[in-house]
Structure 1
Amino acid sequence: MPAVMWSCGPLNGTGGAEDQPLCQHLHLVLSVFSLLYLVAGVPVGLGYNALLVLVNLHDQSSMTMPDVYFVNMAVAGLVLSALAPVHLLGPTASGWALWGFGSEAHVTLLVLFNVSSLVTMYSTALLSLDCYIERALPRTYMSSVYNTRHVCGFVWGGALLTSFSSLLFYVCSHVAARIVECSKMRDAQAADAIMVFIGYVVPALAVFYALALISRIRKADTPLDQDAGRPDPSVHRLLVATVCTQFGLWTPHYLTLLGHTLLALRGKPVDRHHLGILLFAKDVARFLAFSSSSVVPLLYRYINRNFPSKLRRLIKKMHCGRQSCSPDQAGVQQVMA
């Protein structure tokens, strides 16, 4: 059994002797970063995502449109943080697996991962579009909290329906001998192609379009810039940081899905050397995708101006318990904060 989480097994016997040390060093570095993420990143992701959800749900009257989308992404981040140990240490890794599970559990975890990735990407895209609407038409209330909550409900429903294709391919792989139609759907690469197009290409186009429109508005000096009801400037910084983070960390994952699909379309068996490279790239992409669940709530914590005050109100309510705080107690706690 190898001493690291991922091994160079697929590359053995395919490259020269000079390639083996480099391969071993790369897998060792990836193993160290992954273990550090499991020890530190997963608790941070679970803690900050849960805190983001609790703080906003506790003070729903002060929630804004961006807050609703970040709560949506935080829920998806909680799912990703819970799935990270299973994916990074389980049989989906290309080398050493600490445990194993059946095909049914594997498909269930895959569906949950796909749902979380779709919710994350579409929440980012819709946040960009709504920020443009709110900046261009600040007093029309088209991007209100009420509308955003319903939109997020449709996002989760659409993510579940799209991820259902993974379950459909699994079912067809078991009954293909009896149903001729399912025999044409046995390739998992079709599900990967669907995920690349729906889960990455579509939201990427929406985000680029929204950012281009926002940049045009920011360049134009209009009377709306002096309007007291215009969006908080920190929202734009948070939007840009979130878009760059999400697409920067999720792009490698969708590129590996695209590469797997293109290799399958060649109709030729993949040699061990290319298979090893693909598995290593898949492990790196999976690690980056899971790390987004802990990075985004940290961005929200340190860029959003309203979060500290909401957090103080939540802590004050938890400290007072069921009894309401007196004005003196509240004033003393604010001075101490």
Structure 2
Amino acid sequence: MWSCDTFNGTGQGGARPLCPDAHLVLSALSLLYLLLGLPTGLGCNALLVLANLCAPRTMTMPDVYFVNMAIAGLVTSALAPVQLLGPAGWGWALWSPGSGAGLALLTLFNVSSLVSMYCTALLGLDYYIARALPRAPAASAHNARQVCGFVWGGALLTSFSSLLFYICGRVSSSAAECTELQSAQAADAIMVLIGYAVPALATLYALARILHLKREATPLDRDADRLEPSAHRLLLATLGAQFGLWTPYYLSLLGRALLAWRGKALDRHSAGALQLVHGLSQLLAFCSGFVLPLLYRSLSKSFPGKVRRLRARLRCGPCRGPRDLGAVQQVVT
């Protein structure tokens, strides 16, 4: 769990400006998340993935993006206990930031965050395409699946480049190339630019175009819109929650990179405050793992029916009666 040593960058004891209250508050919030948020996130994300994958014909374009965000949420939630329970406070050498396991966990976290942010941005863009061109096949579930495949591949490539910077800074402190690159700060800057700035600009553009279409709504939109009526509320809630929970984390990365590039050493109080802000922002990012599936469960009108069909399949196996086939056909239509 979080400790005073972590916030002050020293192993010495004694009273500190941020101790003991700050680390106790952050530790209490972390425990609350692990006891309530983590099981909720794992269960809701798993249910979201299973309910949609067991009824692939009923999946719409938003469903495809939410399934991929749920998979990314499962990865993020699985990494939360390792991050929140010990490496900083207990000094586990295996999970320390400089170890191989620590770098692997950081890479997985970066991949899941990239997938989650880009799926959110693409959801907004495809929703705009579906509203602007209702009869065009561009914003379809099939195309969304193809795009999500590229998103996962791009996230792996981007995280691998950031991983190289982290490794370069830890292989040899005397390497001139690594010293000039300021590797850890370069990796943080890459994640801020590619993982946050680009999807944020795409989302802002999509929102601006959607609001413009809302002001110029025509009867064609009501007749040909292929998205369910609750899709607009689900989209706005998802965009607000996703960027609201991830923005502090990326801002903390940007702040660390800028302070490091200034080359000015921080005093003990400032370093502790920076670590506290980063810890809180990381905890907020983990919370996205259970907030998004809860939003989907609350605002998606088709999700309860998918859950009922999943339960029926689990009870009676692969058998399907005429009533089930008629229900599937109705949803597809």
- Residue number among 82, 94, 98 corresponding to 1:101 in the alignment: 94
Residue in 2 that maps onto 1:7: 4
Residue in 1 that maps onto 2:236: 240
Checking the alignment, whether the CA contact within 8 Å between 2:126 and 2:139 is kept in structure 1 is: yes
Residue in 1 that maps onto 2:189: 193
Structure 2 residue 47 is matched with structure 1 residue 54? no
Checking the alignment, whether the CA contact within 8 Å between 2:163 and 2:187 is kept in structure 1 is: no
Checking the alignment, whether the CA contact within 8 Å between 2:103 and 2:163 is kept in structure 1 is: yes
The 5 Å alignment of 1:1-337 reads 5-7=2-4, 10-11=7-8, 20=17, 23-91=19-87, 93=88, 96-97=89-90, 99-101=92-94, 103-173=99-169, 176=172, 180-324=176-320
CA distance in 2, matches of 1:226, 1:47: 36
Checking the alignment, whether the CA contact within 8 Å between 1:256 and 1:281 is kept in structure 2 is: yes
* Amino acid of the structure 1 residue aligned with 2:217: D
CA distance in 2, matches of 1:12, 1:72: 38
The structure-2 alpha-carbon separation of the partners of 1:9 and 1:171, relative to structure 1 and needing over 3 Å to count, comes to closer
Cα offsets for 1:47-95 (capped at 9, x unmatched): 111111001000000100000000000000000010000011132x3xx
The structure-2 alpha-carbon separation of the partners of 1:41 and 1:165, relative to structure 1 and needing over 3 Å to count, comes to same
CA distance in 2, matches of 1:99, 1:19: 23
Q: TM-score, normalised by structure 1?
A: 0.88
The structure-2 alpha-carbon separation of the partners of 1:9 and 1:76, relative to structure 1 and needing over 3 Å to count, comes to closer
Residue in 2 that maps onto 1:335: none
The structure-2 alpha-carbon separation of the partners of 1:170 and 1:228, relative to structure 1 and needing over 3 Å to count, comes to closer
Checking the alignment, whether the CA contact within 8 Å between 2:9 and 2:271 is kept in structure 1 is: no
Cα offsets for 1:199-240 (capped at 9, x unmatched): 111111110110010011111131223314442221110011
The structure-2 alpha-carbon separation of the partners of 1:126 and 1:322, relative to structure 1 and needing over 3 Å to count, comes to closer
Identity value in percent: 58
* Amino acid of the structure 2 residue aligned with 1:160: L
Higher mean alpha-carbon deviation, 220-229 vs 262-271, is at 220-229
Cα offsets for 1:94-141 (capped at 9, x unmatched): xx2274415101100010000011001000000000000001101111
Structure 2: runs of 5+ lacking an equivalent: 328-333
The structure-2 alpha-carbon separation of the partners of 1:258 and 1:26, relative to structure 1 and needing over 3 Å to count, comes to same
* Amino acid of the structure 2 residue aligned with 1:281: V
* Amino acid of the structure 1 residue aligned with 2:62: P
Structure 1: runs of 5+ lacking an equivalent: 332-337
TM superposition shift of 1:159: 0.5
TM superposition shift of 1:279: 0.4
* Amino acid of the structure 2 residue aligned with 1:185: L
SS at 2:90 equivalent: coil
Cα offsets for 1:164-209 (capped at 9, x unmatched): 1232123323555796544433430011011111111111111011
The structure-2 alpha-carbon separation of the partners of 1:53 and 1:254, relative to structure 1 and needing over 3 Å to count, comes to same
CA distance in 2, matches of 1:43, 1:251: 24
Checking the alignment, whether the CA contact within 8 Å between 1:238 and 1:300 is kept in structure 2 is: yes
The Cα RMSD (Å) is 2.6
CA distance in 2, matches of 1:144, 1:258: 36
CA distance in 2, matches of 1:295, 1:10: 28
The structure-2 alpha-carbon separation of the partners of 1:114 and 1:216, relative to structure 1 and needing over 3 Å to count, comes to same
